[in-house]
Amino acid sequence: MEIVVVGCGRVGAELAFRLFQKGHQVTVVDSVVAAFQNLHPDFRGRTVEGEALNENVLGRAGLASADGLAAVTSSDTLNVVVAHIAREVYNIPNVVVRNYDARWRALHETFGLQVVSSTSWGAQRIEELLYNQEMRTVFSAGNGEVEIYEFTVPKAWGGHELDELLPREDCVVSALTRAGSAILPDRSTTLKSGDVVLVSATFDAIETLRRNLHLTLEA
């Protein structure tokens, strides 16, 4: 694939090198020539110096034939505009933008862009790891709005149904593993201590589940 990376900071440089290692034809665009020093010494893709909104720069970067574009500068407005041009003017099928400042994330979503918000996602993951070690995130969709979590059923919840444990909204059970064998349970499934459960949930729902797990139940 021919992929254009706009922005050669730490994220852009790492992304460009990873794509290059996978055998893609990569072109990196940045307005500051010194930024290209962030690239790995073994990177053998193209670099284009210039303003990303300049039509000539975009032409030299090869947007007319590109299969994908990643706008990963530290300017949210620049990322949005470049991505919009790539999609609407050059008809690039796969466009991804970086959200740098979480307060501007709504701007990306307004344009219907595929957005990765490392700030929002990173803060949420750090929060989870600081005080929720008993529940592990195994997959994150989007920017963490929905994640798949894994937890082990504590002794207090043995003999109770999943429906008693799970929040009523925004939480779907995905799998239950017992003695090494996995099943697709429903909410009426009776739990046993030591069961490993996978659920897909929003962050708010998983907070409710965490509170439920710590409830003291009568035997």
Q: From CA 87, how far away is CA 82, in angstroms rounded?
A: 9
Residue 217 near residue 157, CB atoms below 8 Å: yes
pLDDT band at 123 (very low <50, low <70, confident <90, very high): confident
The whole-number average pLDDT for the span 112-140 is: 73
Q: From CA 180, how far away is CA 178, in angstroms rounded?
A: 5
Residues ≥6 apart with Cβ < 8 Å to 177 = 183, 195, 196, 197
- Beta strands 196-202 and 94-98 are unpaired
Mean of the per-residue pLDDT values for the chain? 88
Amino acid identity of 173?
V
Residue 87: count other Cβ atoms within 10 Å of its Cβ. Answer: 18
The whole-number average pLDDT for the span 198-210 is: 91
* Token pair recorded at residue 164: 């008693």
Q: Is 176's pLDDT higher than 50?
A: yes
Q: From CA 187, how far away is CA 161, in angstroms rounded?
A: 7
Q: Where do the structural domains in the chain lie, given as residue ranges?
A: 2-120, 127-213
Assigned architecture for domain 2-120: 3-Layer(aba) Sandwich (3.40)
Q: Is 133's pLDDT higher than 70?
A: no
The whole-number average pLDDT for the span 135-160 is: 86
Q: Is CATH 3.30.43.10 what the domain over 127-213 is classified as, yes or no?
A: no
Q: Is 14's pLDDT higher than 80?
A: yes
